[in-house]
Amino acid sequence: MLRAAVAVVVPVLALAACGTASPKAAPTLASSHAAKASASPTPSPTPSPTPKPKKHRRRAHAAHTSPAASQSSSGGSGSGGGAPSASGCQSTFVPAYFYASNIWDQAISTRPDPTVMLLNVDNGVGTSPLSHFQSLVRQAQAAGITVLGYSSTEYGARSISSVESEINDYKSWYGVNGIFLDLTQGTSGEFSYYQTLSNYVRSKISGGIVWLNPGAYPEPSFMSIANVVMVFEGSYSAYLSDQVPSWISQYSPSQFANVVHDTPQSDLASAINLSRQRRAGHLFVTDLSASGNPYGALPSYWSQEASAVPNGC
């Protein structure tokens, strides 16, 4: 799902001079999914005083559709792919992959406010704690928002010890409520890898919450590992034809998240309605494009979305 996180590198002098200034490039979720088989990480740029985007591998949704998806049907606009209608609470969440305090303030002060914000400091936790983000996390939590730290697993290729170290830093530096594990491999061979990380999060963070982001429907067994699984991250046009497996009816909508970018305002209502039919209890829709940084700010229609999404809460 959110798959191309960009670094927010904040020079010490810059922080001292302008505590809330926004860098030119904000971190992004890994957006869209180009075929993993032929994908490779985009090299990080040479460090410079001005942060520049760092992108991860991208992959196509079909790359990790589980065998169970063979029982699914296409989710066209209006049918929801034949998946049972969602029941229960649906709410917004925010990939907070931006630095600027005013954007955080906008999200936090929204009513109804998002239930979850994903904190991405520097394509991960960074090298040292930043008071800027510490303050923003406290502000969000005081408003009742759950804050999750971002950590990429590189499709299970990153060492468990490296991810565990990042989990420790997120907890000690920012007091997060849990971890969002990005670039998740949702096939059975990696089950034990993610089970280990999930257990670690819960051993280190009291009441620790775990989100996984395969960006497509994983093997159903992965639903036992996480509190929430991000089963779609892509454009609105791709959302219309996404394959929805029948096994989702066995789980609560609160266990699924969708991210839909490149969504014109005229299609916002359609995207929301479709997400409900697909049992997505957590939703983020944006008009920003994956050709740039779809998570560098809130969508232009954020207030409308924040009012329209909450349902049954």
Q: What is the pLDDT of residues 122-164, one digit of tens each?
A: 999 999 999 999 999 999 999 999 999 999 999 999 999 999 9
Q: Which pLDDT value is given to residue 31?
A: 37
Residue 87: pLDDT band by 50, 70, 90 thresholds?
low
Average pLDDT over residues 218-231: 98
Whether the pLDDT of residue 78 is over 50: the answer is no
Determine contact, residues 216/64, Cβ cutoff 8 Å. yes
Determine contact, residues 123/293, Cβ cutoff 8 Å. no
Among 222, 150, 160, 211, residue whose Cα is nearest residue 186: 222
Residue 32: pLDDT band by 50, 70, 90 thresholds?
very low
DSSP 160: H
Whether the pLDDT of residue 249 is over 50: the answer is yes
The model's pTM is 0.78
Integer Cα distance of 211 and 178 in angstroms: 8
Among 83, 33, 81, residue whose Cα is nearest residue 61: 33
pLDDT in tens, 207-222: 999 999 999 999 999 9
| Neighbouring-strand partners of residue 211 | 180, 228
DSSP 149: E
Among 207, 242, 206, 212, residue whose Cα is nearest residue 224: 212
Residue 312: pLDDT band by 50, 70, 90 thresholds?
confident
Determine contact, residues 69/247, Cβ cutoff 8 Å. no
Q: Percentage of the chain with pLDDT > 90?
A: 70
128-165 residues labelled b (16+ CB within 10 A) or e (exposed): eebebbeebbebbbeeebbbbbbbbbbbbebeeeebbe
Average pLDDT over residues 38-46: 32
Integer Cα distance of 207 and 2 in angstroms: 24
Q: Which domains does the chain have, with CATH numbers?
A: 12-31+52-57+73-308 (3.20.20.70)
Determine contact, residues 248/69, Cβ cutoff 8 Å. no
Residue 4: pLDDT band by 50, 70, 90 thresholds?
very low
Alpha-helical regions (H) of 78-216? 101-109, 131-142, 160-169, 191-204
- Torsion of the alpha carbons at 308, 243, 76 and 92, rounded to the nearest 10: 10
Quick one: residue 151, left, alpha or beta (phi over 0 = left, psi -120 to 50 = alpha)? beta
| Neighbouring-strand partners of residue 212 | 181, 229
Q: From the CA atom positions of the chain, what is the Rg in Å? A: 18
Q: Which pLDDT value is given to residue 83?
A: 38
Residue 36: pLDDT band by 50, 70, 90 thresholds?
very low
